[in-house]
Amino acid sequence: MIFSREYVGYLARQTVKHLVDAKMIHTENLKKVEDRVTQGLIEELSLEDRINEEVRVILDAYQDDMRRSGASYMEMFKKVKIELARKYKAVL
Amino acid sequence: MRITRDKLNKLAHVVADTLAETDEADFLEDRNTIRQEARKALETLLLAELKIDQAAKQKIASQRRIIQEGSQEWDILYRKYYNEEVKKLGI
C-alpha cells in the first residue's frame, strides 16, 4: 500500500472530522464511524497490492514461455496488470 | 499527490458509500455533496502527504554517500524517515 495503515487511519479521522465540522454528517459514535471509514479506505488502497500479487502468480506460471520468447517481465507485468484491473473494474 | 485524480475520486466515493452504509452516521446533506466535500478534504490531506514523502526522500538524498532508490537500504531508510515525518502530525 502506498501509505502506511497509520496514515490511512489519520486520513479517515481527518476526513470524518472535516465532514462533521462542516455539518455534513452527524454521529453519536465518532470512533465507530472513523473505524468504518478507515477500513473502507484500507480496502480500496490495498486493491493494487492484491492485483500486483495476482500478476506475479500468473507471470511465474509463464516464466519459461517468456524466457523462450524473450518477453520482458516488466512489459508483461504492465499488460497483465491492466487486464486484471479491467476485469475487476479497479481504479489504480 | 501520489495517487491519480481517478483514485482520489474513487476514495471520495468509498468515504460517501461507507458513511451511507454506517448506521452511526446521519447525513445532513445529500450524498453527492458529502462525496464532493470528502474529495476536497482528501485532496488537501494528500497534498500535505506529498510533503512528507518529499521530506523523507530529501533526508536520504542528503546522506554522505549515494543510496540508490529502489535498493533495500533505500526502502528501509525511506520507511524510517517517512514514519518520523508522520509522527510530527501526532499520529
Report the gap between the CA of B64 and the closest CA in chain A (Å): 27
C-alpha cell at A43: 480496502
Q: What is the pTM of this model?
A: 0.83
Interchain CB distance below 8 Å, B2 and A2: yes
Interchain CB distance below 8 Å, A15 and B45: yes
C-alpha cell at A24: 455534513
pLDDT bin (cut points 50, 70, 90) of residue A3 is confident
Interchain CB distance below 8 Å, B34 and A27: no
> What distance in Å separates the CA atoms of residue A84 and residue B23, rounded to the nearest whole number?
34
pLDDT at A9: 94
Nearest by CB to A29, which of B24, B82, B89?
A: B24
Q: How far is CA B35 from CA B12, B18, B32, in A?
A: 5, 11, 5
pLDDT at A31: 97
> What distance in Å separates the CA atoms of residue B68 and residue B89, rounded to the nearest whole number?
28
pLDDT bin (cut points 50, 70, 90) of residue A39 is very high
Residue bearing the bigger pLDDT, A78 or A2: A78
Nearest by CB to B42, which of A15, A36, A91?
A: A15
Q: Are the C-beta atoms of residues A8 and A1 closer than 8 Å to each other? A: yes
Q: Quick one: A32 exposed, middle or buried, by C-beta within 10 A (0-12, 13-18, 19+)?
A: middle
Nearest by CB to B91, which of A2, A10, A15?
A: A10
pLDDT bin (cut points 50, 70, 90) of residue B87 is confident
Task: Of A74, A2, A6, give the one whose Cα is nearest residue B78.
Answer: A2
Interface predicted TM-score (ipTM): 0.82
